[in-house]
Structure 1
Amino acid sequence: MVLLRLDSLALSRSRFALSPAAETLGALKALSRPCVDPWLAPWHARHHAALRAALAADPFAEGLVRLTSSTKYLPDQVSLPPTGGMHTRLNDELALMCEVPDEDVVASVRLAVAASWEEHDVDSWLTGRNFAARTAELFRRTWDAHLAADWPRRRIALERDVTYRAGLLAAYGWPRALERMARRTAWTGADAIRFSDRPGPDRVVGPDGMLFVPYTGARGSWLCEAPGRPYALVYPARGSGADPSDSRAHAGGDPDRDGRAGLEHRDRRDRALGRLLGTGRAAILRTLERPATSSELAAELDVSLGTVGGHLAVLRDAELVVGTRVGRRVVYRRTEAGEVLATGMTWTTGERHDDGVDVADGADGFG
């Protein structure tokens, strides 16, 4: 079991951050293999073939991506902590990535191979030099081709996750804010976070604290570390960043087996909800699958703040949503009545209240 042991000042100085590089690594893993997450299916279908073709033309990139997708230890250059907080820029992350010496990359790749559950012929692709710069080029190409257009929407989803956890932090403290952050992550005792249930050395988090970095992947978390910088725990955000206009992103079940039935069920529910509440209020209720502020709702739905405020007032009066003040912000979430109306499912039991196809349980996101 690997523990992150926190200094007495660590929690008070820990904070959230964003990392376009972590988002890119998650995308490389997702696109390099068959899609297993229905809500990612439309994006995966658009980009999978192009990425596979690009990797096939670059043995170093193909070998590195295959390794990072099949190991419990990530090479140094792909797991660096972000340095810009919530405003981290990809260019800055790639510049730091390029500074990792070749010998460090080689040593960490060997460790990653030892921790992998697959066989890797490293000598066939770890050839030449400038490994970190070549990795940065892979990340840049992947970002430009497969992520840049989606980043504004994904960023909103990530910021909403931070808003949600910041609310828990303000009300209940760090143990509650970290709850269900990742499958194997849990608070242990008064001063430690369990990062993994596999054998490994503990890490000591010093007085500078650590970073918590959401990304829009459906599963998987990893720890980023570099000399002289705080540890960063990358974890799946509560939400996929999928395009809300593509109803396939919300359908549950196996996309090949029951995706069509899931789409029809979702479409029927959406049309009925729109007739009942009006399209604007129905859109807000659906979007509150994850808690959000009125500004975040306006940005995601591309409507004015005044329009969102009017719709929220009606939904509050109907006791379908409730707002909680967190500092200067008010974070809105669905009530249990709103949950049942929007999804047909309750928070407490996850039980469906209709005869349609199962849909994703929005109360806990996609973690």
Structure 2
Amino acid sequence: MGWWQVDADTLAQSRFVVSPLAETVAALKTLRHGTAAHPGERRWLDAHLPRYRERSAADPVTAALVGAALGPRWNATFLTPTPAAEGESGGGDRGGDRGGDRGGDRGGDRGEDRGEDRGEDRGEDRGEDRGEDRGEDRGEAAFARELEPVRATPPGVVRADLAEALGGPVPELLRRDDLAERAADLLAWVWTETVRPSWPHRRRIIEADALARTARHGTHGWAAALDGMRPGLRWLGGSRLQVTPSDSPPLELAGAQLMFVPVTPSRSWVCWDVPPVDGRRARPGRRYAVVYPCAGVLAEEGRRPVPQALAALLGPARAGLLTQLDVPRTTTQLVALTGLPLGSVGRHLRILREAGLAHRCRVGRSVPYVLTAAGRVLLDACPAGPEPPDGGPGPGRPRPGRRAGRLRTPRRRAAPASPARPVRPPGSGGPGRGGARRAGRPAPARSRPRRGPAGCGRSPPAR
């Protein structure tokens, strides 16, 4: 077996990292093998595998490069670089340290007061609008930064990495100097065509897994947090971390940076940076990473729609969680499916459990939630409402151009105050009662005013 010697300081400073490039490499591995681990991945392959095979058939050099770089035992180092520790982080950096402290301290007090009103009103509309756009922009920029070292790898280092992955000489077809450029172009194509369109959803799943493992570490320790992360990975005790079941020399990680990188495809590998010296890899650097398939990768198709009456009764977020509990689901899976923050999901589940609509059970180390008999009766008693006959907005449906959010009661707006009008005496011809001309009635006769002596002004009208 292969194991790493991890001291206490390295383990304490380890973190979870979100890596768009690692997600792309995992997608490339799935496309190359053409096998799916679950129905959702099967649908993804059905959508993208034909185009990948067409591209490979049109470029045999790149196809041979992928086959050599992703060997049966080792990956070429230049194609699977170690993510930077200062990159975007999920559980260990933001989600674990900050999310756990802020979510626990402030979420319980502020969340229940303001969260249900502001969070459901603004969060679903604003969060989906801004969050997904901002997530795509950040993912694109992070992917471009991670791809630069792949494209800049010297030709000699690429050939040395391929020889190590193959365990022998490099084929004649791959003895050329543009392999790094070809590999970067292929990764950019996989990212653009297959990963970036669903990156906001993938990121939510990755962050949910990192948050759940961080919470498990705080409760049960590192052995529980690492349990089931990837085949062959387990905590041996005595500062030893087994990373692979195959035999490989042990590595000492004293003072190094250890990162855990979740990805949504069912692929895993370990990597560490080996800076090149004079065109060859010399010795391992200071960054090590474990890339593993995260939990909560579930298909969104075929889900039961949220009944409109139930959403009006419980609120759309809580009603959506209740409809997901027709089968047992963990908190991580619910976060991944709904896109809600972990603290909000936990708060809604607690309220549903206190109301007798859901209960939790323990299955090994996981604690899934499921409907109670009362919750199932309530869910079955609220069928989805019919569509309006004219296709216009109906109860619980957003008006055109608006996102579906919380049902809002229309507010009556006060009429704008009219400007003050001068009060005129009756009979003066103004808009008063006496001055208004009525239909069919002539205006009252008025005589010309008489003038008095100079300086006396006008005399009152004759009666």
TM above 0.5, yes or no, is yes
Change (3 A) 1:53 1:145: same
Asked if structure 1 preserves the Cα contact closer than 8 Å seen for 2:334 and 2:345, the reply is: no
Determine the structure 1 residue equivalent to 2:233: 185
Asked if structure 2 preserves the Cα contact closer than 8 Å seen for 1:292 and 1:333, the reply is: no
Cα shift at 1:5: 0.8
Asked if structure 2 preserves the Cα contact closer than 8 Å seen for 1:215 and 1:234, the reply is: yes
> What is the aligned counterpart of 1:313 among 351, 357, 367?
351
Cα shift at 1:177: 0.8
Work out the number of aligned pairs and report it: 300
Asked if structure 2 preserves the Cα contact closer than 8 Å seen for 1:319 and 1:335, the reply is: no
Determine the structure 2 residue equivalent to 1:17: 17
Change (3 A) 1:298 1:180: closer
Q: Residue by residue, what CA displacement relative to the aligned partner does 1:60-90 show, whole Å, maximum 9, x if unpaired?
A: 3211322345421110111211111417711
* Structure exhibiting the larger radius of gyration computed from Cα positions: 2
> What is the aligned counterpart of 1:232 among 270, 280, 289?
289
Change (3 A) 1:312 1:297: farther
Cα shift at 1:137: 1.3
Asked if structure 2 preserves the Cα contact closer than 8 Å seen for 1:175 and 1:187, the reply is: yes
Q: Residue by residue, what CA displacement relative to the aligned partner does 1:301-326 show, whole Å, maximum 9, x if unpaired?
A: 9xxx989966762244326256xxxx
Query: What is the alpha-carbon distance in structure 2 between the residues aligned to residue 293 and residue 47 of structure 1?
Result: 25
Q: Residue by residue, what CA displacement relative to the aligned partner does 1:334-367 show, whole Å, maximum 9, x if unpaired?
A: 34767xx99xxxxxxxxxxxxxxxxxxxxxxxxx
**TM-score normalised by L of structure 2:** 0.57
Asked if structure 1 preserves the Cα contact closer than 8 Å seen for 2:3 and 2:242, the reply is: yes
SS of residue paired to 2:242: strand
Query: What is the alpha-carbon distance in structure 1 between the residues aligned to residue 321 and residue 263 of structure 2?
Result: 28
Change (3 A) 1:172 1:209: farther
Q: Residue by residue, what CA displacement relative to the aligned partner does 1:77-127 show, whole Å, maximum 9, x if unpaired?
A: 112111114177111110122232221111111111129xxxx97322x13
Determine the structure 2 residue equivalent to 1:280: 320
SS of residue paired to 1:78: coil
Say yes or no: does 1:141 pair with 2:189. Answer: yes
Query: What is the alpha-carbon distance in structure 1 between the residues aligned to residue 153 and residue 27 of structure 2?
Result: 22
Change (3 A) 1:50 1:145: same
Gaps of 5+ in 2: 90-137, 276-284, 312-318, 361-365, 377-463
Query: What is the alpha-carbon distance in structure 2 between the residues aligned to residue 208 and residue 286 of structure 1?
Result: 45
Asked if structure 2 preserves the Cα contact closer than 8 Å seen for 1:3 and 1:202, the reply is: yes
SS of residue paired to 1:231: strand
Change (3 A) 1:92 1:229: farther
Asked if structure 2 preserves the Cα contact closer than 8 Å seen for 1:14 and 1:208, the reply is: no
> What is the aligned counterpart of 1:96 among 149, 152, 155?
149
* Paired residues for 1:198-213 under 5 Å: 198-213=246-261
* Paired residues for 1:130-279 under 5 Å: 130-227=178-275, 228-240=285-297, 243-244=299-300, 246-247=301-302, 270=304
Asked if structure 1 preserves the Cα contact closer than 8 Å seen for 2:2 and 2:250, the reply is: yes
Cα shift at 1:169: 1.3
Matching residue's letter, 1:59: P
Query: What is the alpha-carbon distance in structure 1 between the residues aligned to residue 77 and residue 244 of structure 2?
Result: 19
Cα shift at 1:243: 4.6
Change (3 A) 1:288 1:237: farther
SS of residue paired to 1:212: strand
Cα shift at 1:28: 1.1
* Paired residues for 1:33-112 under 5 Å: 33-37=33-37, 38-83=39-84, 84-86=87-89, 89-112=142-165
Asked if structure 2 preserves the Cα contact closer than 8 Å seen for 1:79 and 1:225, the reply is: no
Query: What is the alpha-carbon distance in structure 2 between the residues aligned to residue 121 and residue 274 of structure 1?
Result: 60
Determine the structure 1 residue equivalent to 2:387: none
Change (3 A) 1:299 1:232: same
Cα shift at 1:31: 1.6
Change (3 A) 1:105 1:29: same
Matching residue's letter, 1:225: D
Matching residue's letter, 2:150: M
Asked if structure 2 preserves the Cα contact closer than 8 Å seen for 1:214 and 1:236, the reply is: yes
Change (3 A) 1:320 1:61: farther
Change (3 A) 1:333 1:231: same
Query: What is the alpha-carbon distance in structure 2 between the residues aligned to residue 153 and residue 79 of structure 1?
Result: 23
Matching residue's letter, 1:73: W
Query: What is the alpha-carbon distance in structure 2 between the residues aligned to residue 10 and residue 311 of structure 1?
Result: 35
SS of residue paired to 2:295: coil
Change (3 A) 1:307 1:172: closer
Gaps of 5+ in 1: 248-266, 323-331, 343-367
SS of residue paired to 1:210: strand
Determine the structure 2 residue equivalent to 1:262: none
Change (3 A) 1:131 1:14: same
Change (3 A) 1:181 1:231: same
Change (3 A) 1:180 1:128: same
Asked if structure 1 preserves the Cα contact closer than 8 Å seen for 2:77 and 2:271, the reply is: no
Asked if structure 1 preserves the Cα contact closer than 8 Å seen for 2:30 and 2:267, the reply is: no
